[in-house]
Structure 1
Amino acid sequence: MNTPAHLLIGAALFGRNGQKSVVWAAFAGALLPDLSLYLLAGTALYVVGIPPYIVFNELYFSDTWQTIFAIDNSFVIWGLLFGIACWRRTPWAIALTGAALLHLCFDFPLHHDDGRAHFWPFTNWVFESPISYWDRDHGAMWFAPLGAFCACVAAISMWRRRLGWAMTGIVAILLGAELWVVSQWMFFFTDS
């Protein structure tokens, strides 16, 4: 699932109490499992100037990057943090950790050959799903539109809460980003 969809769905489900601080925490939690990828790839591509094929075909699969991804995509770590947040009854922490866990729940079945070690530190095993949210050889033509549909439902849910102009604008930008990415995959990156 694309990051904008994760943010919209996470905020819609875990920011339901209407407090803006809780909604922001849900946005942050939904982003955190992908943040290291953006930081690592962005630095490699735009600061160091490494070509994209090396970044995404070599560095992405390197032991160092995979270890970082295992830590911030661990059901074990996020589950423990979610349990602590629930025990403490802290709404913003529940939203943050719950949205991160939801992110992992969507990612786990939707990554074919680019998944993460979701059960770190107990194991480095990576589930290779038969389906993918982005790889058309593994069902993305069905799952990408489904993710976009869920993002649309989440955006409508957020707008109905009337959280102010700033939040409305952010939701619109995220939805636009999600629809743009999916349209690129569906219409421009087709087989010749």
Structure 2
Amino acid sequence: MNTPAHLLIGAAAFGRPAQSRIILAAFIGALLPDLSLYVMAGTALFVLSIPPARVFNELYFSDAWQTVFAIDNSFLLWGALLGLALWRQVPWAVALTGAAVLHLLLDFPLHHDDGRPHFWPVSAWVFESPISYWDRTKGAGWVAPVEAVVALVVAVMLWLRRVPLWAAVLAGALLLAELWIVRQWLFFFVDS
């Protein structure tokens, strides 16, 4: 699933009550499982000037990068943190960790050959889903439009909830980003 959709869904699911601190925590939690990819790929591409083909075909699948992805995409780690947040009854921590767990639950069935070891540190096993959110040969032709519709619905839900202005503007920007990304995947980056 694309990151903007994760942020919108995480904020809609865990950004209650519609208070800045809770919504911000939900947005951040929904971003955290993908953040390392953006930092590492951004550094490789824009600071180190490594060609995109090497970044996404070699570095992405390297042991070093996969170790980082295993940590920040672990159901066990995020689940333990969510359990602790629920036990301690800390609303912003529940929003943050709940949105992160939801991110992982949505990613798990939508990664074909680029999945993560979601059960780290107990197992390095990676589920290879028959469905992909970005690869049209693995169903992205129907997954991406569904994802875009879900993103639209949850953005409208956030606006109807009368979230703070900054969150409403962010939701609008994320929705536009999601629609742009879906358009790119479906029409420019993937062969039929």
Normalising by structure 1, we get a TM-score of 0.97
Q: In 2 relative to 1, CA 190–64 (structure 1 residues): closer, same or farther, beyond 3 Å?
A: closer
Other-structure match for 1:89 = 89
Indicate whether 1:143 and 2:143 are aligned.
yes
Other-structure match for 1:58 = 58
Structure 2 residue identity aligned to 1:170: L
Other-structure match for 1:171 = 171
* Consecutive unaligned residues in structure 2, runs of 5 or more: none
Contact 2:20 2:164 in 1 (8 A): no
1:32-87 per-position Cα deviation (integer Å, ceiling 9, x unaligned): 00000000000000000000000000000000000000000000000000000000
TM-aligned CA deviation for residue 18 of structure 1? 1.1
How many angstroms apart in 1 are the aligned matches of 2:163 and 2:18?
Answer: 7
Other-structure match for 2:32 = 32
Fraction of identical pairs, as percent: 67
How many angstroms apart in 2 are the aligned matches of 1:157 and 1:81?
Answer: 27
1:133-168 per-position Cα deviation (integer Å, ceiling 9, x unaligned): 001110000101111111111100000111232221
Cα RMSD for the two superposed structures: 1.0
Q: Which moved more, 1:135-144 or 1:157-166?
A: 157-166
Structure 2 residue identity aligned to 1:31: L
Other-structure match for 2:102 = 102
- Partner SS state of residue 146, structure 2: helix
Count of aligned positions: 192
* Consecutive unaligned residues in structure 1, runs of 5 or more: none
